[in-house]
Amino acid sequence: MYDYLVIGGGIIGLNIAITLKQKEPTCKVILIEKERDIALHSSGRNSGVLHAGFYYSADSLKARFTRDGNKLMREFCKKRGVAINQCGKVIVATNEEELAGLDELKKRGNTNGVKLVWLSEEELASRYPNVKTHKKALFSPTTASVDPKELTREFAKLASEIGIVILTNTRYEKKINHEEILTNQGVIRCKKVINCAGLYADKIAKEYGFAKNFIIIPFKGIYLKDKANKSNLQTNIYPVPNLANPFLGVHYTLTIHNEAKIGPTAIPAFWRENYKGFQNFSQEEMREILFFEAKLFYTNAFGFRKLALSEMRKYLKSHLIKLAKKLTWKMDHSGYQEWSAPGIRAQLLNTDTLKLVQDFVVQSDAQSVHVLNAVSPAFTSSIPFANWVVENHIQKNQH
C-alpha cells in the first residue's frame, strides 16, 4: 500500500511527488507514466523558456509561481549541472497603441517584484541591432532557456534518488474503489491519488466526481527552426501580447543549443494527442472536442473564430516568417526551414461560460487531487506550484 500515487510523469507530477517526499520523508510515493519514458508530452515538447513572471496580473497564482519558479529553476539547474542559456528577452512594440501594452507589462512586473529594464530605440539598436521596436522596448534579464527534456529528466533522477518509485509503460485504466486503481500492469493500492495526467486530467477527474463543468481543449504548437542560427538571434524577442487570450503571439526563441525558432502556432487540435497525421487517433475524443470547438466557432466566444482562422494560416512558412519580421530589421530568415516536433497544450475550457481558464485549477477531496489546468507557464512554475498543491490540497485534506 502506497501513501500517494501520482498519475503522470511530466514536470508537475514529478515535482508534486518530490515535494511530498521532502515534506514527509517516511511516506511511500509511486508515480506512473503511460509512456516508455517521462517528458514525452508537454513537459518535453515546450519552448524551454523559463519565463520571468510579468505577463500576469499580480493577484494571479500564475504571477507568483512564475516569478518564484524562475528563480528556483535557475538555482536547480546550477546545483544539478543542467545547461541554461541566460539570454534574456526583449518585448517590443510595433506601433503607438502597443506602447500602452508595454507600460502595463512594466507595471505588472513592478507589482510582482520582477526586474524589467526600459530600452530606448537607440539602446536597443546598440545591444541587438536586428531587433525593431517603436520608441522603446522592455528587457527581461531573468528570462532564460533550458532543454525541457533534460531538465524534466533531472527531476526524475532526483525523484528516484530520494526513494520515489517511477513506473513507465504503466497506464491508468480506471478507479476500482477509493484505495485501488487499475493499470495496464495490474492493481495498485494507495491512500491518495494525485492526478497530473495533463491532456487526460479532466477525464480521470470526472471518474472521481470532479471537473463537472470543464473539458480540456487541445491546441497544437509548432515552431519553425533555424538550426544553425543563420539569423544570428541573440535573445528571445516577443511582441506585446493580447492579454485577453492565453497565447503570446508569434515570437523568436533562442534555445539552449543556439537554435533560433519562430512560433509557436496555437492551432485547435481535434483529439488530445493529435501530433501528426492520424497517430493516436480517438474517434470518441474527436467527437467531443469538435462539438465544443464548433460551439466556440459558432458563438465566437473570446474571438475563437478569428483565432482559429489566423492560426491555421501559420502552417504556411512564408506567413509565419512575415509575422515574425514585424519584430526585426534586416535579419536573415533563410535558415528557417524545418518544423520542430509539435507540442500540444492542454487548455481548460469552462463549458458553462465557454471561456478558456487562464489560471491554475486544482480540485480535491480527502481521497484524490486533480490538477486540471496546469496552464502555461506551468513548466517554469512547477516547483512553487507543486509546493502550493501539497500544502493546500493534500496536507489540508488529510484525515
Q: The C-alpha cell of 216 is what?
A: 480540456
Distance CA 101, CA 146 (A): 27
Contact call for residues 263 and 222 (beta carbons, < 8 A): yes
The type of residue at 68 is D
pLDDT at 57: 86
Distance CA 390, CA 393 (A): 6
DSSP, res 81: T
pLDDT at 398: 66
Long-range contacts of 154-163 (CB under 8 A, 24+ apart): 154/76, 154/80, 154/82, 155/11, 155/14, 155/15, 155/18, 156/9, 156/14, 156/38, 156/39, 158/18, 158/80, 159/14, 159/17, 159/18, 159/21, 159/31, 162/18, 162/21, 162/22, 163/21, 163/29
pLDDT at 396: 76
pLDDT at 146: 97
Q: Which residues of the chain have pLDDT under 70?
A: 243-247, 397-399
pLDDT tens for 68-98 read 999 999 999 999 999 999 999 999 999 999 9
Backbone angles phi, psi at 11, to 5 degrees: -65, -30
**Which residue's entry shows cell 480540485?**
363
Tally of CB atoms within 10 A around 126: 10
Count the helix, strand and coil residues of the chain and give each as a percent rounded to the nearest 5. 35, 25, 40
The enclosing H or E element of 89 equals strand 89-92
Half-sphere exposure of 220 (CA within 13 A, CB side): 21
Distance CA 206, CA 173 (A): 13
Three-state secondary structure along 189-244? EEEEEEECCHHHHHHHHHHCCCCCCEEEEEEEECCEEECCCCCCCCCEEEECCCCC
DSSP, res 54: -
Three-state secondary structure along 236-259? EEEECCCCCCCCCCCEEEECCCCC
**Which residue's entry shows cell 500492469?**
185
Cis peptide bond N-terminal to 377, omega within 30:
yes
Q: Is the pTM value of this prediction over 0.75?
A: yes
Cα dihedral 39, 40, 46, 48 sign: positive
